Amino acid sequence: MDTWMYLAQGFAVALTPENLLIALIGCFVGTVVGLLPGLGPINGVAILLPLAFALKLPPESALILLATVYIGCEYGGRISSILLNVPGDAAAIMTALDGYPMAKQGRAGVALSISAVSSFVGSLLAIGGIILFAPALACWSLAFGPAEYFALMVFAIACLGSMMSQNPLKSFLAALIGLGLATVGVDANTGVYRFTFDSVHLSDGIQFIVVVIGLFSVSEILLMLEHTKGGQQLVLPDRSPAVQLPRADPVHRHHAALGHRRLLRRYPAGGRRHHRQRPHLYDREAPGRPARHLRPGRYPRRGGPRGGQQRLRLWLLHPHADPGCAGFGHHGGDDGGPDPL
């Protein structure tokens, strides 16, 4: 009963004209910041944090501003991912796999609208999940120990096999390269510098977003330079409706269920990088679906990965509010683990 009372009080504060205007401004600013590859929501919030302090906003208004900037940055990263094949952040990889081929077919507006609708619906589902399940899972999340970490890593390797089922050797080599890059920096347990070559810039390791932008954006630039042609090329826009919910409804139902059945993301270091790919993998392995619908850009109504990612965004805020642990490395201490403070 107390939950509903607190919920009513929260709505009374959040739905004031001032806070609604702050939320609108935060979403707009976050979308603009997210358009710039490499910044991402973490840097966007960090940049605007002094601004929120300088404006002397009330605590609830400042939280609304920073939260809307965070969510806006997440959607802004999808715009560059769809239009340019340059992921704005690490979580936009799965969007680039389907969105950019659709943009080359003249359906960029369709891809952007699906991404926006999925983000909105996913955020609403995440809010409901936090309200209903956050108190019950607050203590349970602290039981995430070494065995669970090991199971998580095994599951990540299984996901790699599902994504590259036609070429497992390439998947294995990519995993080895990723593990090699992850060893650069300070060891989280011993504090020993590994493969830094006496460079201060490598002491923090190689960030995942740097690798993602290098793999996607640099390769896309080289391909554009290689296939440059003279004259003008015309891409006719697709006149079909932006979103057809009856056709996409089974896909969104699958991702909505996956977004809340997988409680692993709720735990410290549960990892957004594993869960942003799970809806895409579920679509690949769903029985009875023709393989031609699973090629990049060929399934015109897929928006579920965006909904799952947006639900994960709001779930990541919960470990800080309840058990006081970080959801993943960027939110925690220097060692990338839970921050007891």
Sequence-distant (≥ 6) Cβ neighbours of residue 333 within 8 angstroms: 326, 339, 341
Q: What is the pLDDT of residue 21?
A: 93
- Under a CB-based contact definition with an 8 Å cutoff, are residues 18 and 61 in contact? yes
pLDDT at residue 1, as a whole number: 61
pLDDT at 167: 74
The whole-number pLDDT of residue 164 equals 64
Lowest pLDDT segment from 14-18, 97-101, 161-165, 333-337: 333-337
pLDDT higher than threshold 80 for residue 17: yes
What radius of gyration do the chain's Cα atoms show?
21
Domain locations in the chain as residue ranges: 1-142
Residue-wise pLDDT for 281-291, tens only, equals 545 544 454 44
| Euclidean distance between CA atoms 81 and 98, whole angstroms | 10
pLDDT tens across 107-136, in order?
A: 888 888 888 888 788 878 887 787 777 777
Residue 337 has pLDDT above 50, yes or no: no
What one-letter code names the amino acid at 166? Q
